[in-house]
Chain A
Amino acid sequence: MDESVIDRAVYAELRDTTGAEFVAELVDTFIEEGPGMLAELRAARVESNAERFRRAAHSLKSNGRTFGAVKLTALAREFELKGLDADPVRDVGGLAALEAEYARAVAELKALRNG
């Protein structure tokens, strides 16, 4: 397991304050909702809709923070603060990195949920 993907202390606190069973449900919800947020980011990039782009990044950041997904949070926050790049190609590259980090976070969260 990679400590740099999910901050164990944050995850443990979430589990301790809300219950293991509830956190398992919450992880499942995140796994269900995450692809939609990533798709929203891509769609907003295609449409050059800055508001949609910022809001989708904000939502991912917020959930990343909840689970202690450190890198995912940082990448999403960067998009939220920076907004749409003047060069779409740079955003597309960034989005691929974000999606890869999301996949890693989900894999870690699944392991933690089952562990």
Chain B
Amino acid sequence: MAEDTSRVLIADDNKVNRLLLSRSVELLGHRSALAENGRLALEKLRSEAFDLLLLDIEMPELDGFAVLEQIKADPQLREVPVIVTSSIEGLDNVVRCINLGAEDYLRKPVNQVLLKARIGASLEKKRLRDQQKALVRRFVTSEVADDLLQSDFALGGKWLCASVLFSDIRGFTALVESQGPEETIDLLNTYHMLMFDAIGSYGGAVNQIMGDGLMALFGAPLPLDDCAGSAVAAGQEMLGLIEQFNHERSAVNKPAIRIGIGIATGNVVAGYIGTQQRGTYTCIGDTVNLAARLEAHTKVAGCSILIDDATQRALGGSVPTQSLGEVPFKGKAAAVEIFSVMAGQLHGQS
């Protein structure tokens, strides 16, 4: 059972209490670590992983109330359930602990049967929360998951400056028809794994997968210092990984795959759209449309990465690009100058 290997931190300034609680916890099959005051407890919580904190209230340096307050205010720590174990006087103090987020309150000396029940319940709750979080992360990016878990789901959006990247596999439909469904899914899974890796390593987040196509955001939901530079670097990395992937494919006589990437930078409306029951985090606006058009235009222009003028300006000459002139895109009032990211500079590896 997973519970058997749970790690419990015991914060108590009294040595007899620490030893006794540690013994009780270990008799229940858990591992324990000790902290002599609130400050040391927080240090340990921040540097090691714990499944539960048994917290005394009366402690020097930082008392249990202050520890509870700091845990509540820290997104990294507030997942750790806290059971207050104290012999503090006054019901109002017990209420204060619960109001500050403690799961439970056990009066010292702690009854072993009660301790077992409370620890079991707290660990089970934590396990369910972890499971729920893992599930959420499977369907949305970890940034969106954190946002959702912290502020709950609310429809609505805000303006953000971001770079949007679209990519898809060239001639994918023909490829699908030439091979079995399992092979297609296998190919797509490998492909997405590589693309997610490239995008994630430059601080981007894959927002949508549409078969062989995907949309990634740089600078949303969390701001990114150089969103345009990161998006272009991720695009180059994607091409580099595809090249390596093609080497492996050619070794087993499979056709090479080619991808096209479009990147645009500018203001987007970012937020949750949908219904209260089912929503999705996305970005909408001209910049998103333009990135999609640029990706489609790679087929016409015969190059792998196309970027808009805003992205090119933001690069500040750090990446060589070639102007392909102004192109009138559908839905855009004015023609947009577009640039090809120079092929010779792709991914910088031989």
Chain A contacts to B: CB under 8 angstroms:
14, 17-19, 22, 25-26, 29-30, 33, 55, 58-59, 61-63, 65-66, 77, 80-81
Contact = CB atoms under 8 A, between A and B. Distances in A.
Contact of A14 (B58, B88, B109): B109
A33 B16 contact: yes
8 contacts: A29-B15, A29-B16, A29-B19, A61-B87, A62-B14, A62-B108, A65-B108, A77-B89
Contacts of B112: 17-18
Contacts of A26: 16, 19-20, 23
A55 to B, nearest CB: 5
Contacts of B141: none
B87 A62 contact: yes
A62 B17 contact: yes
A58 B16 contact: no
Given A14-B109, A66-B108, A58 B87 contact: yes
Q: Which bracket fits the contact residues of B?
A: 10 to 19
A65 B87 contact: yes
Contact of A65 (B23, B58, B88, B109): B109
B87 A55 contact: no
A66 B19 CA distance: 12
Nearest to A58: B58
B6 interface: no
Contacts, number: 52
B135 to A, nearest CB: 39
B15 A33 contact: yes
Interface of B: 13-17, 19-20, 23-24, 27, 58, 60, 87-89, 108-109, 112
A80 B17 contact: no
Contacts of A62: 14, 16-17, 87, 108-109
A18 B20 CA distance: 8
A62 B14 CA distance: 9
A63 B23 contact: no
Contact of A63 (B14, B27, B88): B14
Contacts of A80: 89
Given A62-B109, A66-B16, A66-B108, 15 more contacts: A14-B109, A17-B24, A17-B27, A18-B24, A18-B112, A19-B23, A25-B19, A26-B16, A29-B16, A55-B58, A63-B14, A65-B108, A66-B109, A80-B89, A81-B89
Contacts of A25: 19
Contacts of B60: 55
A22 B17 CA distance: 13
B108 to A, nearest CB: 6
A33 B12 CA distance: 14
Contacts of A18: 20, 23-24, 27, 112
**8 tightest A-B contacts by CB?**
A66-B109, A17-B112, A62-B87, A63-B16, A58-B58, A59-B14, A18-B23, A30-B16
Contacts of B27: 17-18
B87 A22 contact: no
A17 B20 CA distance: 11
